[in-house]
Amino acid sequence: MPGKILARITGAGIAEDADIILEKTSRDLKQEINLDINQLLKIPDDQLINLFDVPEKRRREYLETLADILYQLAESLVPEEHNRVVMDSLYSRSLFLYEYLNTTGPVYSLERQILIGKIRNLLGSSG
CA distances from 101 to 3, 7, 62, 67, 70 (A): 17, 21, 11, 10, 15
The pLDDT of residue 15: 44
Average pLDDT for 99-114: 90
**Ranges of each domain in the chain:** 2-126
Cα–Cα dist 66/103, whole Å = 17
Q: How confident is the model at residue 76 (pLDDT cuts 50, 70, 90)?
A: confident
List pLDDT tens digits, range 6-64: 445 445 444 467 778 888 888 988 888 898 999 999 999 999 999 888 898 899 999 99
